[in-house]
Chain A
Amino acid sequence: MLVTVLFYTFATILVAAGVGVITSRNPVHAALSLVLCFLTSAVLWMLIEAEFLAIVLVLVYVGAVMVLFLFVVMMLDINVEELKRGFTRYAWLGWLVTGIVIAEIVGVIVQRRLGLDVTRGAAPLPPGYSNATELGTALFTRYAYAVELAAMLLLVAIIAAISLTLRRRRGLKLQDISAQVAVRAGDRVRIVKMKSEPRP
């Protein structure tokens, strides 16, 4: 009972936040609504006992991706009015796609030929069952090879990104910290011994 109440509460917030994302005129507000969307869907995942995915959603999407998003939105001076011009011209396409998507969702729920009843929900898990443990065990035993390959893939991404973007342009003014630390007074100050001039 409590789960049902919680589900409907958070589902309502999720839908409202989703509407907020696409209706708010201020891009920062839209991004913050998206953060709310992610948080509430994380709670919904928690309700179906997928706690690992819920936490990853908060950490990765809210913690990293959305922060990056907000940074970009704040740094770029996006002219919203400019973007909105011609928006209604393609509205028919939007409605068409919306219609198709809704029809598909209804089709999946109504038709049970696919062999999985989506209206029943996930079966409750036994007490003491840990999502994170199960995932970790699977990843580091059965899928160890795939995990290693994915790690290699990330290494390639790092090498590629750095080699394509890190460049020393000529004439670029940079600090050389080690040179600054190693500097001695003698390098900067030259003491010139001069003969004192005779008093006139």
Chain B
Amino acid sequence: MHESAMTLESLRPAIAEISLGLAICVVLMADVFAGASRKYVTPLLTLVALAACAWLTVTVGAVQDRTVLFDGLYVADRLSVFLKLAGFLSVGLALFYSQPYLERRGIQGGEYQVLALTALLGICVLASANSLLTVYLGIELLSLSLYALVAFDRDSGVAAEAAIKYFVLGAIASGTLLYGMSMLYGLTGTLNLDKLATVSAAHGAGFVIAVTFIVVAVAFKFGAVPFHMWVPDVYSGAPVSVALLVSTAPKIASFALVARLLVYGLGADPALWVQILTVLAVLSLLAGNFIAIAQTSIRRMLAYSAIANVGFILLGFITADPSGYRAALAYTLVYVLTTLGSFGVVLLAARSDGEAEELDDFKGLGTRDPLLAVLMMALMFSTAGVPPFAGFWAKLWIIQSLLHTQHVWLAALAVLASVVGAYYYLRVIWFMYFDAGREQTLIVRQPLTRGALTLNVLAVAGLGVMPNVLLALCTSLMG
């Protein structure tokens, strides 16, 4: 494959990665030389850099057609540009929400922001991956940054435990992925996803084994049952701000991973991976929803809720149909937006004697902090799938596409799982409004963070009122 020489002009579609790479170096250096003011300079500079990168991606990096760069390693299309922008937004919001928490807990050091940016770079790389090599590098860039972030609060024993579990399981997943990739390379002689997409029609037993290994790794990264063991530990062990980061933007990366690797690269014969994904999705829906009922910690509950939601996203891919893919994209976006909000509330709902760890800490939030309680109620309604919030439409589109492709029993299971899930989401609302809390005073006042959180929830509600905007967007991106 010979292409025209690399020029500055030809690198335009890759501006997101290039500018983000530069931004990482700038933030890292600024943090070193800012001296005593680094406490304020680094977080602010990070947000400015994120905004600048997003702006450059829109103005310089926007592409209309599929553009392949770097000798087939990199692809830029409208989906990749959009996923990157979603990544910029969610990491930016996550960092913005976390700032008061980080100051309160004394978790300071510019490395936090830098590692969040490198994780974002990994997401961007995955969104534009067009080769097994770039897929792997993107995953590692994302995962390594997240491992370090989980362990960032070094005085916390549970955080260290969660980080070790995450690291070991993640390393196994990376090994599985590499194993599958090396088998694919041995069988087809190519790393390029364009070429894989054409050869994968003819396959034997070796091909099936290779794809199985790859799907297992994908399930690990997504946190689908039975590869979900790290999810509750990381969500509850890591600092809340890191749990917020881990639960949002990487889901966009996981979506990109499935879209690029399975749907596009191995898409000639979707039957190869649909069966495995079906098992994973059914187990995730059942285990996630039922185990979440038994949780007493809000973060563990959100973790099992994440597992159940991953089951829903996988259901969209099972249809092996554009309508399912676009429903999966819409579900991922709505899920990320809603989770940003709900973890944002957890960050702000601290008590005078500590963080809001247990579900009991939300008792009486309705009187203690009316705004936060209303926001949490909207978010819980959305996640439970109550109209008119965006979560309802996301679930509806998935079920519609399942019915459209004759997966009736899966659709029935999805509805059943949603009903079970509604119980523990609504329980949070019950606690907030109908149970008396121990404490009646407002603890954390963060007008800016509260304002952003309110906008976030308004977006969730707004997308619920005007679902056609989201559907049209996803349709134009996924075809």
Interface, chain A (partner B; CB < 8 A): 141-146, 148-150, 152-153, 155-157, 159-160, 162-164, 167
A163: B residues at CB distance < 8 A: 109, 111, 115, 148, 152
- Asked whether A155 and B118 contact (CB < 8 A) given A144-B70, A145-B134, the answer is yes
Whole-angstrom CA separation of A162 from B112 in the bound complex: 12
- 9 A-B contacts, Cβ less than 8 Å apart? A143-B71, A145-B14, A145-B134, A152-B118, A156-B148, A159-B148, A160-B115, A163-B109, A164-B148
Whole-angstrom CA separation of A172 from B428 in the bound complex: 46
B138: A residues at CB distance < 8 A: 149
Quick one: which of A150, A152, A164 contacts B21, CB cutoff 8 A? A152
B477: A residues at CB distance < 8 A: none
Whole-angstrom CA separation of A164 from B138 in the bound complex: 22
- In the complex, are the beta carbons of B137 and A146 less than 8 A apart? yes
CB of B172 to closest CB in A, whole Å: 19
B71: A residues at CB distance < 8 A: 141-143
B148: A residues at CB distance < 8 A: 156, 159-160, 163-164
Which of B139-147, B293-301, B312-320 makes up part of the contact surface? B139-147
B6 at the interface (CB under 8 A from A): yes
- In the complex, are the beta carbons of A160 and B147 less than 8 A apart? yes
- Asked whether A143 and B111 contact (CB < 8 A) given A149-B125, A153-B137, A167-B154, the answer is no
Write the B107-138 contact mask toward A (1 if CB under 8 angstroms, else 0). 00101001100100100010000000110011
- In the complex, are the beta carbons of B134 and A159 less than 8 A apart? no
Quick one: which of B6, B140, B145 contacts A144, CB cutoff 8 A? B6
CB of A44 to closest CB in B, whole Å: 23
B458 at the interface (CB under 8 A from A): no
The interface centre, meaning the residue of A148, A149, A153 with most chain B CB atoms within 10 A of its CB, is A149
B424 at the interface (CB under 8 A from A): no
A150: B residues at CB distance < 8 A: 137
Whole-angstrom CA separation of A60 from B433 in the bound complex: 63
- In the complex, are the beta carbons of B144 and A157 less than 8 A apart? yes
Whole-angstrom CA separation of A156 from B71 in the bound complex: 25
B74 at the interface (CB under 8 A from A): yes
Taking CB as reference atom, which chain B residue is nearest A151?
Answer: B21
B151 at the interface (CB under 8 A from A): yes
Whole-angstrom CA separation of A164 from B111 in the bound complex: 10
- In the complex, are the beta carbons of B121 and A152 less than 8 A apart? yes
- In the complex, are the beta carbons of B154 and A164 less than 8 A apart? yes
Whole-angstrom CA separation of A148 from B125 in the bound complex: 11
Q: Which of B58-102 contact A (CB under 8 A)?
A: 69-71, 73-74
Whole-angstrom CA separation of A141 from B73 in the bound complex: 12
CB of A147 to closest CB in B, whole Å: 10
- Across chains A and B, the number of contacting residue pairs, with CB separation under 8 Å, is 68
Taking CB as reference atom, which chain B residue is nearest A163?
Answer: B111
Whole-angstrom CA separation of A159 from B111 in the bound complex: 7
CB of B80 to closest CB in A, whole Å: 14
B52 at the interface (CB under 8 A from A): no
- In the complex, are the beta carbons of A153 and B144 less than 8 A apart? yes
Quick one: which of A148, A149, A160 contacts B145, CB cutoff 8 A? A160
* Given A144-B70, A159-B148, 11 more pairs with CB closer than 8 A: A141-B71, A145-B70, A146-B137, A155-B118, A156-B115, A156-B118, A156-B145, A159-B111, A159-B115, A163-B111, A163-B152
Taking CB as reference atom, which chain A residue is nearest B151?
Answer: A164
Whole-angstrom CA separation of A162 from B125 in the bound complex: 24
Q: Which of B439-462 contact A (CB under 8 A)?
A: none
Quick one: which of A141, A144, A149 contacts B137, CB cutoff 8 A? A149
Whole-angstrom CA separation of A94 from B121 in the bound complex: 43
CB of A18 to closest CB in B, whole Å: 25
* Smallest CB-CB A-B distances: 7 pairs: A160-B148, A163-B111, A145-B70, A149-B137, A142-B71, A156-B118, A145-B73
Quick one: which of B6, B73, B125, B144 contacts A156, CB cutoff 8 A? B144
- In the complex, are the beta carbons of A143 and B73 less than 8 A apart? yes
CB of A142 to closest CB in B, whole Å: 4
- In the complex, are the beta carbons of B141 and A156 less than 8 A apart? yes
- Asked whether A149 and B141 contact (CB < 8 A) given A142-B71, A143-B73, the answer is yes
A141: B residues at CB distance < 8 A: 6, 71
A152: B residues at CB distance < 8 A: 21, 24, 118, 121, 141
B141: A residues at CB distance < 8 A: 149, 152-153, 156
CB of A179 to closest CB in B, whole Å: 17
B24: A residues at CB distance < 8 A: 152, 155
B21: A residues at CB distance < 8 A: 148, 152
B73: A residues at CB distance < 8 A: 143, 145-146
Whole-angstrom CA separation of A14 from B60 in the bound complex: 56
CB of B115 to closest CB in A, whole Å: 6
B28 at the interface (CB under 8 A from A): yes
Whole-angstrom CA separation of A164 from B115 in the bound complex: 12
- In the complex, are the beta carbons of B70 and A153 less than 8 A apart? no
Whole-angstrom CA separation of A153 from B118 in the bound complex: 9
Taking CB as reference atom, which chain B residue is nearest A138?
Answer: B71
Whole-angstrom CA separation of A162 from B152 in the bound complex: 11
CB of B153 to closest CB in A, whole Å: 10
A156: B residues at CB distance < 8 A: 115, 118, 141, 144-145, 148
The interface centre, meaning the residue of B69, B74, B111 with most chain A CB atoms within 10 A of its CB, is B111
A162: B residues at CB distance < 8 A: 111
- In the complex, are the beta carbons of B114 and A149 less than 8 A apart? no
CB of B229 to closest CB in A, whole Å: 22
Whole-angstrom CA separation of A153 from B109 in the bound complex: 20
